[in-house]
Structure 1
Amino acid sequence: MLDDYLLHEILSRLPAKSLGRFMLTSKKWKALISDPYLKTIQAQRSTQNVLGIISGSTYSLGGSLTYFPLEHNACEAPDTSLGLPAPQAETISLKGACNGLLFIQVFPPIRDLVCNPTTKYSRQLPDLKIYYDDTKFGLAFDPAIFAADFKVVATKRVRQKASSGYYNFYVYSSKANTWRLSNATIPCTRKRLLKSAGSVLFNGALHWLREREDILAFNVEEEVAYNLALPEELRPVSVTWYTSIWLGVVDGRMSLVKSESGDILVWVLEDYGSRRWELKHRIEAQGSGYYWYSMPIFYDGEKCVLVTLGSSKEEYGLAVYKIYRRQWDEIRRPTWSMGVDLCFVPYINHMLG
């Protein structure tokens, strides 16, 4: 008979949907799968396997999220409904994601929630009681460090003059279930945080891109705010309502993917302390077909995903480039509208939450 350790090793490698079915097999299997240790290991392994991309608007959406797989031979699309508590919202605004959890706002009335699309878990956060203009959110969830705990950070730009001001940081903890104003502040200029770019958790800190400038960072545990300067060639530029740059974490290092002069450039932050960036890949994007502009939305070291735009808003598609094969996959035509302020986040299938 298999011992519990070996069962843990086997079960932790299964997708969350299968684990949900196996919980109904027997009381013993339900207890094993409900074990916090197994949930944590399964969540860690799931975060290394992105199945597809979830898209939604940072402004408003008709009550659902859209999923598209990264492989043509992918299995059936997952159920991305969120199982939201009543009353049902008329619109859903996708504000960010971290390791399989989503942070959304629903309205009317306006409510902030953290959701797990796999388990249909959701938690409504207390009212932040601030005006949301010039406010960006970041979700911090790391199953290897925080177990089932997560934090949400709201960074609000407070204007003093037309060209100056500072950022405040409000921190929510799922353990305490309260918001509080952090003592941390940092000066800012008239440049705003990019609307269509979500936050990135790395090195214990949340990171947000700023228009044509740098990265704003906030260490979640130490509650210290700082800026990461970017070389001139890496500073993000907005084209129409999209940004030309994607920020994420690949193989334990922060990476930037930028669309520039028809090519896709992949930069890696080789040394976080010295802010030393190095160019790792140059991809000739023209191989994916004719288009006016392309926007990187995902990169994992093996593939790069682009939204491609033609000469009008109706001419769009999704293209996948296989890095080591040096091969473009055919452009996919999404069934959803390319509205203003679209947000793209990786879909990760896990049980935690």
Structure 2
Amino acid sequence: MSRIVRVGNVFIGQGYPVSIQSMTNTKTVDVDATVRQIRELAAAGCEIVRVAVADFESARAIRKIKEVLDLNVPIVADVHYDHRLAIEAIKNGADKVRINPGNIGQDWKVKELVEVAREYSVPIRVGANSGSLRKDFEQKYDRITALAESALYEVRLLEKFGFYDIVVSVKSTDVLETIKANEYVASKVDYPLHIGLTEAGVGETAIIKSAIAIGHLLLKGIGNTIRVSIAGDPIKEVIVARKILASIGLRKFGQVIACPTCARCEIDVEQIARSIEPIVEKTDLTVAVMGCVVNGIGEGRHADVGVAGTKNGAVIFKSGTIVKTVPREKIVEELIKLIEHTRSVPQ
């Protein structure tokens, strides 16, 4: 059982859905660009957005961003080195701050931040990653324990000042280190955990590593909010996060399932699947694209909507029952019509 932390209009913790986070890569002081990207992230399914706060101008830009933003998306201020930036961000409307007490400096600085966070009812995320371990812990413990204990040290520091509105994060670039360190922390505290890999990489490498680590932890009941780290467009992070949560049954998001194809395949499965995926992802439907009728309808029976190739085109089915036979050139068009109709009907 984990505690519950409120971040704007989103609750993190026991009993609430695992929330999806990402981070803008625009300059925070560029309000227009940042607002535009936050809107894109929210449209893709991002529920909490983090922005970098490197200076006072960036901290003050949060107020402008929230004034312009026509969405109720919680904004998290990502702060390093200067506790005054975190304080300024809170005073300008940040819904949560992410700090690393290890690089903030003396304890009195953390205490000052805690006092303001408590006054404004703003939670603090603390933690450690594989590049920011406490040196004394590196010498005392193995790498995994050092990572976990570095995060727990920061938790205890906040607790020392009577602050308990905490989210904890421990991340490594290594899958097994991330898993083991989070398991360690989860066994020691009941604060909600923000999970993911740090610097996971690009493309398929980042996706695979993140899916293994995040999926494993979530299936063990560890983790309350996630960020998939992928170098480049943050929209990809949100899409992959949704797919991870849908794949393990923690959230109901639209997804396309497709057969791997074989010599019996009668239609271009990949092309059809790619054509409909952007539409399906905006629904809560599972849509099957199957290459032939030999196993197609049977294997796709659990899908809400599906298509199976035939020698002359395809059959389109709903919940395992054929509703229409269509020629090849009409497959995508007719499938989209059924998807649109099905998602508009209360389930």
TM-score by length of 1: 0.29
Q: Which has the higher strand share?
A: 1
- Higher Rg of the two aligned structures: 2
TM-score by length of 2: 0.29
| Larger RCO: 1 or 2 (CA < 8 Å, sep 6+) | 1
